[in-house]
Amino acid sequence: MPPRLTFFCELDAPQLESLFRTGEVVNVLQKLGAGVALAIRDFSAERAQVVRQMNEAGIPVTAWLLLPEQDGYWFNLDNAPLAVQRYNDFKDWSEQESLKWERIGLDIEPDFRLITALKEGVLPFFRFFFSTIKRRKKQLPSARRMYERLIEQIHADGYEVEAYQLPPVLEERRTRSSVLQRWLGILDLGVDREILMLYSSFSRPWGDALLLSYGKDAQYIAIGSTGGGVDLEGVADTRPLDWQEFSRDLLIGGLLKPEVSVFSLEGCVQQGFLERLLDFDWQKSVRIERRKYILVHQIRNLLAAGLWALERPWLPAGLIILLVLARISRRRRSN
């Protein structure tokens, strides 16, 4: 049985209105039985009209909450108060526009300004990185409590909460570490649905193996990218998936989970993928090279070991001291 698909859509209001103007996209989404996770980049009348259009067509819509770029864009440890205010503003807008939502999505990623700094060069990146990392250890407990209260508020308002997370959060959790949270500003939150962003376009040529490895351990998964989203030129491989790559990832995702998210709707439309999904053969076989899968598994284990050691630096340091003392003791006895 094909998985239920949900398409992320991250367009500004004018482009969003244009995408949905003819009704063709809505028609295909209806035939696919698919949902949309719509980026709330503004509280415009145009965005509200698109949501109402999908509400009337019976398409489930998730509110994917985002901040202005100058405030970090994605939700993270550094902007917890702004995230809370963003939800409150969103709720007021939804009530005023009579909008219906399937659930609320929290995008947990590093501060967008880290990407901007990296584009400017290595020195601006490290200046921004170290200026934020110094204060995060103290901020982490209070930011976590703020997000936990936000999730409780969203639940009280009658919505489920889903979080979009980077794959290494699984290693962070497995080793009971908070290193990545302090370094990158991400947060490991307890939500109803956790979706790992397993975008193979950013990890060529290992993307299919990474998707299989993390996908097996994930609660839910997102594949991509078929195009669109924030400008990562100069930071990551920004080439969108072609049809062969996209088909491969769909088949892997369908084997792993009953629900698969796709980034992005606009990329699928632009490349002509959306309509091709109507006749997609979900029974086709898919093959992943064993050596790539083993390598990804080994890298994940090394990452976990590194996070474990960094969280407990006193332990390896203590072992090294004990080994040195033992060696000195043996030398003295031999003399």
Lowest-pLDDT range, 123-137, 215-229, 270-284?
123-137
pLDDT digits (tens, 9 = 90+) for 93-106: 999 999 999 999 99
What is the identity of the amino acid at 198?
L
Name the one residue in this structure whose structure tokens are 């992005």: 264
Over residues 244-275, the pLDDT tens digits come to 999 999 999 999 999 999 999 999 999 999 99
0.85 exceeded by pTM:
yes
Q: Which two tokens mark 298?
A: 């080994």
Q: For residue 165, what pLDDT band results from cuts at 50, 70 and 90?
A: very high
Other CB atoms within 10 Å distance of the CB of residue 21: 11
Tokens of 137: 């250890």
For residue 168, what pLDDT band results from cuts at 50, 70 and 90? very high
Confidence of residue 324 (pLDDT cuts 50, 70, 90): low
Question: Which helix or strand (DSSP H or E) is residue 20 part of?
Answer: helix 13-20
pLDDT score for 331: 66
Q: Is the pLDDT of residue 225 over 90?
A: yes
Beta strands in 99-174 (DSSP E): 103-107, 160-165
- Quick check: 232 pLDDT over 70? no
* Per-residue pLDDT tens digits for 15-56: 999 999 999 999 999 999 999 999 999 999 999 999 999 999
pLDDT tens digits for 177-204? 999 999 999 999 999 999 999 999 999 9
3-state DSSP helix/strand/coil % of the chain, to nearest 5: 60, 15, 30
Structure tokens that stand for 326 in this block: 């033992």
Of the ranges 193-202, 232-241, 319-328, the best mean pLDDT one: 193-202
- What is the CA 125 to chain-centroid distance, rounded? 21
Do 72 and 82 form a contact (C-beta atoms < 8 A)? yes
What was the pLDDT predicted at 317? 55
Rounded to an integer, the average pLDDT of 4-13 is 98
Q: How confident is the model at residue 320 (pLDDT cuts 50, 70, 90)?
A: low
Query: What's the pLDDT score for residue 329?
Result: 60
Q: Assign a CATH topology to domain 4-289.
A: TIM Barrel (3.20.20)
Give me 136's structure tokens. 């995060």
Give the integer Cα–Cα distance in Å for 198 and 218.
Answer: 10
The confidence score (pLDDT) of residue 64 equals: 98
Question: For residue range 50-95, what is the model confidence (pLDDT) as tens digits?
Answer: 999 999 999 999 999 999 989 999 999 999 999 999 999 999 999 9
Question: 75: which DSSP letter?
Answer: B
Question: Is a pLDDT exceeding 80 seen at residue 293?
Answer: yes
Over residues 109-163, the pLDDT tens digits come to 988 877 777 777 777 767 777 777 777 878 899 999 999 999 999 999 999 999 9
Boundaries of every domain in the chain: 4-289, 290-335
Q: What single letter denotes the amino acid at residue 192? A: D
